[in-house]
């Protein structure tokens, strides 16, 4: 045998057993996007590296050390997308989506970050993102958050919603200075990572998971003390809307997020468990990004769900069309079996026909394991035996009567679309 080629670390295929629940959740998410009036946008997987440097920020972990960046044959520096927001804004500017318009957009797909892989953290992972443009008030934030909360609630995912405000860039600047003063006063007790961040991106020091840093960070100033009147009013509006909608939240004064483009509201859903990678979905307002990337000033807010993390926490999967019929057949009757399957599919029934060479016994085993609600065995040119799942006695019927009889059995428990 030849040597196998290993997959890339942190980059996994979704095998058929996983695809089915993913597809069911994706289908439900698509439906919810429609219900909320969001339209799909399909974004490229590669962009110019400069896009992320300018949007996500030079001094962020993503741009500093996590991007898959390469020179293409023209010598242009390109990167695999580490997230979707920057590309969405870039495509929106080029496509003329923002000028004097509001937009509600969604996208989904693979993102790439060269992080240390572990459970819930991959180098290729999938996001489901929603972005809204042209709306500057807190109401759209509340609507997005209500959408996120609905998704998690429907799927039975237990998570806390954390909200904070980073204020305007001016508030953030003042806060940055106060934070740096505080951290410098304890410089000798900062860990190596924090010292590095202190110069490059001091707000990120607040994200340290090192317990030794806890005391210093708990004593750090809060951004709320540096909010302008406008920032304070905006945040009060948001919390007011959330209360009115009955969306539970916690104010997290030290939530800052790892991307530079945020202003005002930021939020995250964190799984209740003490998972290492507990953040399921996250986002916030990013009013400055469209101008930063060369467009006209446009209010913007959005969030993205980490699909792998979401899928790991679903306790109420959406109902999917289960296997209705499994057809067992000897090779000589495969043609008839296929015709029967097509006739059933015309009626919306999910059918699988056993087409691999196998003994009747092993076909029977496979059929029982399939979970189909009705098993059909092709006997001869005359007809089939139909057995409802769980029944011991089968019915012998002609090929012509088979569709009607099967529909009858399935109709007793499932809705078959007869139209």
Residues 6+ apart with CB under 8 A from 260: 55, 56, 57, 59, 60, 201
Alpha-carbon distances, residue 61 vs 67, 201, 320, 419 (angstroms): 9, 10, 39, 55
Query: Nearer to ligand HAM by C-beta: 38 or 125?
Result: 125
Phi, psi torsion values for 267, nearest 5 degrees: -155, 155
Using CB under 6 A, pick the residue from 69, 279, 334, 370 that binds ligand HAM. 279
Q: Which stretch binds ligand HAM (CB under 6 A): 115-123, 178-186, 349-357, 390-398?
A: 115-123
Q: Distance (Å, rounded) from C-alpha 177 to C-alpha 198?
A: 11
DSSP reduced 3-state for 253: coil
Residue 277's nearest CA partner among 66, 122, 109 is 122
Q: Contact between 47 and ligand HAM (CB under 6 A)?
A: no
Q: Distance (Å, rounded) from C-alpha 195 to C-alpha 392?
A: 72
Q: Contact between 144 and ligand HAM (CB under 6 A)?
A: no
Q: Contact between 161 and ligand HAM (CB under 6 A)?
A: no
Query: Nearer to ligand HAM by C-beta: 280 or 340?
Result: 280
Q: Which stretch binds ligand HAM (CB under 6 A): 21-29, 239-247, 299-307, 360-368?
A: 299-307
Q: Distance (Å, rounded) from C-alpha 375 to C-alpha 324?
A: 9
Residue 106: CB minimum distance to ligand HAM, A: 10
Residue with tokens 């087409």: 355
Binding residues for ligand HAM restricted to 65-84, rule: CB under 6 A? 83-84
Using CB under 6 A, pick the residue from 29, 132, 149, 282 that binds ligand HAM. 282
Q: Contact between 288 and ligand HAM (CB under 6 A)?
A: no
Structural contact between residues 235 and 227, judged by C-beta atoms closer than 8 angstroms: yes
* Sheet bearing 77-80, strands edge to edge: 46-48, 77-80, 69-71
Q: Contact between 87 and ligand HAM (CB under 6 A)?
A: no
Structural contact between residues 25 and 318, judged by C-beta atoms closer than 8 angstroms: yes
Structural contact between residues 377 and 328, judged by C-beta atoms closer than 8 angstroms: yes
Q: Contact between 131 and ligand HAM (CB under 6 A)?
A: yes
Q: Contact between 308 and ligand HAM (CB under 6 A)?
A: yes
Q: Which stretch binds ligand HAM (CB under 6 A): 20-28, 162-170, 305-313, 339-347?
A: 305-313
Q: Which stretch binds ligand HAM (CB under 6 A): 124-132, 185-193, 353-361, 402-410?
A: 124-132
Q: Contact between 143 and ligand HAM (CB under 6 A)?
A: no
Q: Contact between 303 and ligand HAM (CB under 6 A)?
A: yes
Q: Distance (Å, rounded) from C-alpha 260 to C-alpha 53?
A: 10
Which residue has the closest beta carbon to ligand HAM? 306
106's enclosing H/E stretch is: strand 103-112
200's enclosing H/E stretch is: helix 192-200
Tokens of 215: 């005391």
Q: Distance (Å, rounded) from C-alpha 39 to C-alpha 27?
A: 14
Q: Contact between 309 and ligand HAM (CB under 6 A)?
A: yes
- Taking residues 192 to 231 in sequence order and writing x for each that binds ligand HAM by CB under 6 A, - otherwise, the string is ----------------------------------------
Q: Contact between 280 and ligand HAM (CB under 6 A)?
A: yes
Using CB under 6 A, pick the residue from 281, 344, 397, 410 that binds ligand HAM. 281
Q: Contact between 122 and ligand HAM (CB under 6 A)?
A: yes
Structural contact between residues 317 and 155, judged by C-beta atoms closer than 8 angstroms: yes
Q: Which residue ranges make up the site for ligand HAM (CB under 6 A)?
A: 83-85, 113, 115, 121-122, 125, 127, 129, 131, 258-259, 279-284, 286, 302-304, 306, 308-309
């Amino acid at each position: 045998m030849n040597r196998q080629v290993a997959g890339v670390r942190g980059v996994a295929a979704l095998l058929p057993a996983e695809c089915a629940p993913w597809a069911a959740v994706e289908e439900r998410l698509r439906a919810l996007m429609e219900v909320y009036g969001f339209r799909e946008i399909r974004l490229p997987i590669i962009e110019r590296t400069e896009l992320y440097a300018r949007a996500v920020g030079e001094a962020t972990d993503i741009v500093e050390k996590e991007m898959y960046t390469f020179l293409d044959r023209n010598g242009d520096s390109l990167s695999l997308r580490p997230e979707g927001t920057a590309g969405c804004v870039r495509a929106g500017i080029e496509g003329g989506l923002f000028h004097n318009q509001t937009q509600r957009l969604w996208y989904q797909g693979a993102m790439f970050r060269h992080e240390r892989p572990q459970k819930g953290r991959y180098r290729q992972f999938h996001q489901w993102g929603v972005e809204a443009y042209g709306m500057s008030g807190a109401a759209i934030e509340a609507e997005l958050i209500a959408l996120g909360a609905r998704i998690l609630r429907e799927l039975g995912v237990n998570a806390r919603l954390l909200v904070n405000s980073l204020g305007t860039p001016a508030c953030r600047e003042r806060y940055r200075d106060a934070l740096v003063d505080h951290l410098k006063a304890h410089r000798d007790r900062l860990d190596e990572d924090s010292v590095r961040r202190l110069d490059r991106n001091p707000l990120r020091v607040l994200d340290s998971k090192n317990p030794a840093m806890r005391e210093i960070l708990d004593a750090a100033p809060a951004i709320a003390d540096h909010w302008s009147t406008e920032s304070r009013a905006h945040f009060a509006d948001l919390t007011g809307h959330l209360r009115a909608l009955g969306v539970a939240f916690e104010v997290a004064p030290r939530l800052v997020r790892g991307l530079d483009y945020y202003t005002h509201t930021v939020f995250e859903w964190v799984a209740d468990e003490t998972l290492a990678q507990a953040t399921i979905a996250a986002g916030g307002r990013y009013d400055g990004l469209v101008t930063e990337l060369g467009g006209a000033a446009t209010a913007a807010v959005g969030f993205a769900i980490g699909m792998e993390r979401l899928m790991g926490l679903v306790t109420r999967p959406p109902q999917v069309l289960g296997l209705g019929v499994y057809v067992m057949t000897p090779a000589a009757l495969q043609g008839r079996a296929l015709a029967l399957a097509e006739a059933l599919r015309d009626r919306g029934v999910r059918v699988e026909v056993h087409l691999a060479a196998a003994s009747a016994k092993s076909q029977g085993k496979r059929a029982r394991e399939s979970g189909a609600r009705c098993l059909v065995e092709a006997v001869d040119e005359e007809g089939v035996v139909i057995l409802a799942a769980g029944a011991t006695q089968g019915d012998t019927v002609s090929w012509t009567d088979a569709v009607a009889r099967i529909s009858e059995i399935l109709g007793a428990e499932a809705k078959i679309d007869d139209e």
